[in-house]
A = this chain, B = another copy of it.
Amino acid sequence: MTVLVFLDPAHADGRVADASQPQLMISDLGATRGDGIFESLLAVGGAPRKEQAHLVRLAASAEALGLAVPEAEVWSRAIRTGLREFAAVEPDREKAVVKLIATRGVEGAERPTAWVQVAPVPESGRRQREEGLKVLFLERGYDSTVAQRAPWLLMGAKTLSYAVNMAAIRHAKAEGADDVIFTSSDGKVLEGPTSTVLLAHDRDGVKTLLTPQLESGILAGTSQGALFAAAKEQGWELGYGPLEPHHLLEADAVWLISSIRLLAPVVSLDGQEIRSSAALTAELTELVDRFV
């Protein structure tokens, strides 16, 4: 079941509410305008992973939207309340998805609505990690420089306005694929609708991990960031785009990484099988599994 904790000034540790009942006002601008922000993080054994990285990104998203959300510490306390409640009602689940959501609030109220929800991890992630992903390249419509000149487009903010991300995944599924990698109108590799793109080279004993550059308007991946730090300690070289589709086709391995599904290998791009590496996947997965 899902546990719900509202951030509420009257309750220092958050206010637990019944997630099986309606709890949102119909005029909440999160529901009527997708005007809000979110984060999804994994908790293992009751402890949230990469909590600070998620809270830092949440604050950056809030800044981009001009949204006055509660302080990190308030979120932290609500997350702990949620995880404690979840452990009580779902004692056999080691893992949980923790979502942090803040909307612009009820129309006219001028006060954000903010909550934490804790729920079981969907089963589909494990299957996709094991079987790999068939991925389509789909155009995102933006060029890779627009983020820097048009802040109102909210590029790099994780907003609740995800209808296009969801539509892209539906489009991929209708075509027999599992997921999407967005490309810019000038032909650069961007990101997945809910993940960050990674690729590796393993040549002459040098292992290199690459990801598209942030300046292209993509979301700063918390898992990508943590994996880069961990891989560097293990002697990997690191690199940041610009990347084009041919770089992915030529790589020794490509993955989509995200906080809940974790590291999922890409096995085909636009129907063309690509190289993958069970050894590299295993090596990097070990690093991902050690994230705290």
Contact = CB atoms under 8 A, between A and B. Distances in A.
Interface string A141-185: 111001001111110000111111111101100000000000001
Contacts of A165: 33
Contact of A164 (B19, B23, B115, B161): B161
A268 interface: no
A7 to B, nearest CB: 13
Interface in A1-59: 2, 4, 19, 21-36, 38
B32 A163 contact: no
Interface residues of A, number: 55
Interface string A50-88: 000000000000001110000000000000000000000
A139 B160 CA distance: 21
A194 to B, nearest CB: 10
Contact of A141 (B115, B146, B159): B146
- Nearest 10 interchain pairs by C-beta: A34-B34, A161-B161, A161-B163, A24-B24, A34-B161, A33-B162, A159-B163, A31-B31, A152-B171, A152-B168
Contact of A139 (B27, B30, B149, B161): B149
A228 to B, nearest CB: 28
A200 interface: no
25 contacts: A2-B26, A22-B23, A26-B115, A26-B117, A27-B117, A28-B31, A31-B101, A35-B162, A35-B163, A64-B167, A138-B152, A139-B146, A139-B149, A141-B142, A141-B150, A146-B185, A152-B167, A152-B171, A153-B164, A154-B167, A159-B163, A160-B161, A161-B161, A161-B163, A185-B185
A77 B168 CA distance: 33
A153 B140 CA distance: 7
A99 interface: yes
B32 A101 contact: yes
Interface string A121-143: 00000000000000000111111
A36 B30 CA distance: 12
Contacts of A64: 167
